[in-house]
Structure 1
Amino acid sequence: MALHLYFDLRDALLLAEHAVAAAEHVPSFTEREAGTPCPGALEWVHDHGVYLMSNGLPRLKDPDRPDANLTVYADGWNPDTDGHRYDPDLGGDDFVEHLHLTEVPTPLIDELREARAAGYEWLRLTVHADTYDVSVTRTRQHD
């Protein structure tokens, strides 16, 4: 069974716009190892909860916590407000996965902008044991 993670699209788009506007980016592990440049990306993080960040440099700071990066938690996955959650599809290890924003033929940044303008509310990551899909949705499916 798939796990559906929902992120507020308005907040996720704020992170995405920062990432695509930045001149420099934090590369993924694979990009760093290969020495390839990193385009703008949303960093999907699983450690203290499940959240998104911009990979743009300088980092986008949280106005409420000046020493921290701005994060957008998946709905129900902020351990400070929702408690600790576990799902086998996320695995037992922490990770950072890059959701590249400018890859062709369909740049994710364009999809996010168009979806937000059309009234969509959520960025959804559908997670399976060995893969994931990115989509947008108007409503949140309740698990």
Structure 2
Amino acid sequence: MSSVFWFKLVAVLDLAEHAVAATAHADPVDEEPTGPALLLVADDGVYFMSNGLPQPPPGPDQPAESTVRAVFAEHLGPEQPTHDGDDLLVALPLCQPGEQLIEQLRTAARTGADALVVTLLDDQLAVTAIKTPEAPHLG
């Protein structure tokens, strides 16, 4: 079964910029390389965090008990209220040789994308930046 979630690109980019600017980073997840990364977490919700240390403080729209900033998924529809399956923690490296995710996020934001779509399908993950369509003007 697959799950699709979207995130506000500007908020995710803010976390990514934090990770890139940080002088220290949390330990790598599984076999991921060291260095700046976005952490995709699926447990009681689906959200991104920075692995940069120290962590940024929670945002104004986060629950009072939050201790660090997280960007929570905006659900695409009522059929996907939560992540299906086991808890998940995936590190998305930002500055690896080749196509760097940080540059892809920056370019997407500059060219008008406003959402980051994450698709989880079994053991595969796809990340795509999109521009959400504007609502039609009625009247």
Asked if Structure 1 and Structure 2 have the same fold, meaning a TM-score greater than 0.5 normalized by the shorter chain, the answer is yes
- Name the counterpart of 1:120: 113
Aligned-pair distance for 1:37? 6.0
| Counterpart amino acid of residue 6 in structure 1 | W
Runs (5+) with no aligned partner, structure 2: 134-139
CA distance in 2, matches of 1:131, 1:49: 19
- Name the counterpart of 1:74: 73
Aligned-pair distance for 1:135? 1.4
The alignment status of 1:61 with 2:57, answered yes or no, reads: yes
Query: For residues 92-118 of structure 1, what are the alpha-carbon distances to aligned partners after superposition, in whole Å with 9 as ceiling and x for unaligned?
Result: x21211011011210000000011011
Change (3 A) 1:58 1:98: same
Runs (5+) with no aligned partner, structure 1: none
User: What is the TM-score normalised by the length of structure 2?
Assistant: 0.81
Aligned-pair distance for 1:67? 5.7
Partner-residue secondary structure (3-state), 2:34: coil
CA distance in 2, matches of 1:86, 1:53: 17
The count of aligned residue pairs is 128
- Name the counterpart of 1:29: 29
CA contact (8 A) 1:27 1:37 kept: no
Query: For residues 37-74 of structure 1, what are the alpha-carbon distances to aligned partners after superposition, in whole Å with 9 as ceiling and x for unaligned?
Result: 62101110011200001110001111435861111001
CA distance in 2, matches of 1:63, 1:87: 22
Change (3 A) 1:124 1:14: same
Partner-residue secondary structure (3-state), 1:20: helix
Larger helix percent: 1
Match of 2:95 among 86, 99, 102: 102
- Name the counterpart of 2:130: 137
| Counterpart amino acid of residue 70 in structure 1 | R
